Every structure is written in structure tokens, then in C-alpha cells.
Structure 1
């Protein structure tokens, strides 16, 4: 259900009913935990379309790139050099570029469809999708660290150098929690919370503005117009947040991988 469809449904009801978490659960086939939902279909379609576009764009590369190839190469160079090489280092970064580029493009496209009709639903506002991406990153940086340092060596490397002996047990427990709990939790939660909160705010402005404009008297319809105008402003602001969140997720992924291949803590 798009924002406009929800506004129409809201108009058919009496009184004002604020949007809630239930509006983000939109099963299309089946019900319960195994239902095929609208965000699941959107995510699958964006992944397929993105794959087709990337394959088609790279199949016949030209020495003098056209607009499409130039745009693709600019994005790739930004991830490769601006994040991969700068964060991980020139010796180790290249093998991680496919993961970083995939994460960035997949998150960015799924975020952008959250404000583009007729979808207007950010898939990352469903916590399962950020968790799935987080698990890929989580397994990757731990696997890289164990392969590089060995299992015991990796666990030993979690202790920062120079910590006094009397406080080292507490510091080590905190480091374990950081690497195995806090990092993955915040990585997924940050993306989910920003996408959920931004779309919820737009919903409140659009549905509230529609109700004030069409179902109230006096000067209240004027506030409905203000709400609509502000919702448009927020959509442009949301576009900025969506790009930023894709960048932050990819940057943190590169940071964790850099830590995994580093010989220091």
C-alpha cells in the first residue's frame, strides 16, 4: 500500500487514526511468519533488476564511456577507492570491493524506492532485511579475522595493548561484547531505525494533512496544506538520509574488515 493509497483508506474511515507498526506489515501471499510480503517482493525485484543492469552495463565497456557506463564507473570508483582502499588499505582492499559495492548498491536502491512511486516503501524499514545484510557482514569479518590470525590468535587480539592487569578481565569482556554483539546489533538497528522513522514521519504528515484538509472546518484545513508541503520537504530530506545510510553501512563494513585483516587491535 503506497502513501496515497493509505491516505485514501484513511479518508474512508471516521476520525483520525495515526499510522503504526502494523502499516509496515503487508503480506501479499499467505500470512504469519512465512507470508510473502510486499517488502520481500520489492527486495527481490530490486536485486534482480540491479543484477541485470550491472551485467548489461559491464558487458560491452567502451574506452570512452557513455552516460550509463560513466555513472556506473563513478559509483564503483567511489566504493573502490573512497571506501575500500582508504579504509582497508591498498594491500588488502581489492578482494573486498565486490562485497562493499554490492552492499552499497543494494541498500541504496532499496532505500530510494521508499520515496519513489508506485513503491513508496523502504524495504529496510522491516528489521529482517537489515539483519540479513548484517549477518553477511558479521560472518565475513569474523571469518576473515580467524583465517588471518587463527581462532585463538583472533580472540587474543581483542585485548587492547597496554591495559593494566587488574582491569583487563573487564576490558576483555567489553571487547567481546563489542565485536560479537554491539557491532552487529547497531549495524542493523541504525539502518532499520532511520528508514522506519523517516517513512513513519512522512506517513503522519501525509495522512494527517489529508484528514485536516478534507475532514475539518475553520482554519484547520490550512494546517493540512502546511503538512502536505512539509511532507514534500521531508521526502527530499529522506532522500539524503537514504543515501547517507547506504554509505554509513558500507563504511562500517569496510571498517570491520580492516580491523579483521589488521595485525593490531
Structure 2
């Protein structure tokens, strides 16, 4: 909980500092803030949701991306080294927020019954096959999505955290075992831990991106005219 609150302070400070002295020729901090915002606004929101409605959802998607990426990167910061989202309970509210948002967007666009039809009946399909398709589409497009959002982020953060613990504690144990052969393996274990740390830096970014991108995709699908 302390890390979650700290992330709010860090993100708020960064964005305020980046935008306080906005200029036509940006400084380093302003450039960094604009780069992150432009990435979410253009690459995630506009390209996925479409140019007509995307700006309505940029504040949510940008906040979501920043919140996830900062909490993910705690996992490689010395003395902290704990990604917040390796605890599944912290991810569930984010997944539910995205789920409620795209469901609400679909109802706003199509009406309650219209969105239910939109989400469960593929265009151009009719006849008896709908008896099979409608329940499957309902499960995959409405019920399952918050679970997949949650488990994808949790699984990657939790597994990466365990790998780093394994290589660090295993290396320390082997180095202090008093056996020369074990000591060599311990050095190798520390080397693997460093390599995994760099891999985790990429995974942490990708998981924040994927969670935000999927949220945007679901919103875009809810707004689409055809299923």
C-alpha cells in the first residue's frame, strides 16, 4: 500500500514538473512527459479507439499506463525490489475499472440490449449456429476479459519477482557454502540474476503497455458499429 501511494506522489510530481514551465522548445523533463503522453494518446488511444472518440478516454488510459509502469518498475529499484502488481489483489480493481468502462461505453453507444446483441452476435452470422455462438461470445467478450487482464499482468510480475529472488538468494547461498565449485555456480547465478533483471525491465514496460492497449481495444470494440 505504501508503494501504491508512493507511485501516486511520483507520477503527480513528474507530470506537474514536466508541464509547469511548458515551452515551445521543451526541456528534458517536458520532453519526457510529452513523449509518454504522446505515446499513449497516439499509439494506444487514437490508433485503437479511432479518431472520433479517443480523446474522451486518453485521461484514463494515460493514468492507467503511468500507474502500472511505475508500480512495475519498483521490482528493479534497490531496497524496494517489489513490483506492486505481483500481488493479484492490487490488479483486480484496475481490471474491473477497465471492464466497467468498456461495458458502460458499449451501453452508452448502443443501449443495454443493443450492446448485448453487439457483443454476442457476430455480424453476418445467423441461424441455429447462434445457439452455440451467443453463449461463447458472451463468456469471451464480457465475462472473461477482466480475468485475463488480471492474470496476464499478475502472472508476469509474480514470475519475474520469483526468478529474481531465486537467482539472488540461491547465488548468495552457494557463495557462502564454502565449496569452491558451488561458489562458481553462485557467481553464475548472480550473472543470471542480472540478465533476468534486464529482461524484466522490458517485460515490465510491455505489461503496462499490453494492459493499457487491451483496455483501449475493448473500448474500441464497444464503440464499433459491427461486432
Shorter-chain TM-score above 0.5: yes
Q: Structure 2: how far apart are the matches of 1:176 and 1:48? A: 39
Matched with 1:97 is 58
State the secondary structure of the residue aligned to 2:144.
helix
Q: Structure 1: how far apart are the matches of 2:50 and 2:172? A: 52
Q: Structure 1: how far apart are the matches of 2:147 and 2:221? A: 18
Report deviation, 1:64.
Answer: 1.1
User: Unaligned stretches of 5+ in structure 2?
Assistant: none
State the secondary structure of the residue aligned to 2:225.
coil
The equivalences for 1:47-196 within 5 A come to 47-158=8-119, 159-196=121-158
Q: Determine which structure has the larger helix proportion and give its number.
A: 2
Out of 208, 212, 218, the residue aligned to residue 250 of structure 1 is 212
1:60-81 Cα distance to aligned partner (Å, 9 max, x none): 3111110000011011111111
TM-score, length of structure 1 as denominator length: 0.83
Q: Structure 1: how far apart are the matches of 2:145 and 2:100? A: 12
State the secondary structure of the residue aligned to 1:62.
coil
1:97-122 Cα distance to aligned partner (Å, 9 max, x none): 11111111111111111111121100
CA contact (8 A) 2:8 2:67 kept: yes
TM-score, length of structure 2 as denominator length: 0.96
Q: Structure 2: how far apart are the matches of 1:71 and 1:55? A: 12
Matched with 2:169 is 207
Q: Structure 2: how far apart are the matches of 1:226 and 1:130? A: 34
Matched with 2:186 is 224
1:107-141 Cα distance to aligned partner (Å, 9 max, x none): 11111111111211000000011111101101100
Matched with 1:12 is none
Q: Structure 1: how far apart are the matches of 2:183 and 2:17? A: 50
Q: Report the RMSD for the aligned CA atoms in angstroms.
A: 1.1
Matched with 1:236 is 198
Matched with 1:259 is 221
